[in-house]
């Protein structure tokens, strides 16, 4: 299983070059179920596999 961690800027780019405020809103919207970050030395990182799974789920919702 891949355990690659992505910094916030990489996650923003993967999600369509969204702003940090957009990521904050997604994290605080329970309906979206955006993956929670891991904090290392006060910096946020996400598991790549979780972000990709979330993006796939959003694409499936949009296609339905």
Q: Are 54 and 18 in contact (CB under 8 A)?
A: no
In the chain, domain spans: 5-63
pTM of the model as a whole: 0.88
Are 45 and 5 contacting, i.e. CB atoms less than 8 angstroms apart?
yes
pLDDT category, 13, cuts 50, 70, 90?
very high
C-alpha to C-alpha distance for 49 and 41, rounded to whole angstroms: 22
Tens digit of each residue's pLDDT (9 = 90 or more) over 23-37: 999 999 999 999 999
> Residue 17 gets which letter from DSSP?
S
Beta strand 43-47 pairing with 5-7: antiparallel
Find out whether 48 and 6 touch, Cβ atoms under 8 Å.
Answer: yes
């Amino acid at each position: 299983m891949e355990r690659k961690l992505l910094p916030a800027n990489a996650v923003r780019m993967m999600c369509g070059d969204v702003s940090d405020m957009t990521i904050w809103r997604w994290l605080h919207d329970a309906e979206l179920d955006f993956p929670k970050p891991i904090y290392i030395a006060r910096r946020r990182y996400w598991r790549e596999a979780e972000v990709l799974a979330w993006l796939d789920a959003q694409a499936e919702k949009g296609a339905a």
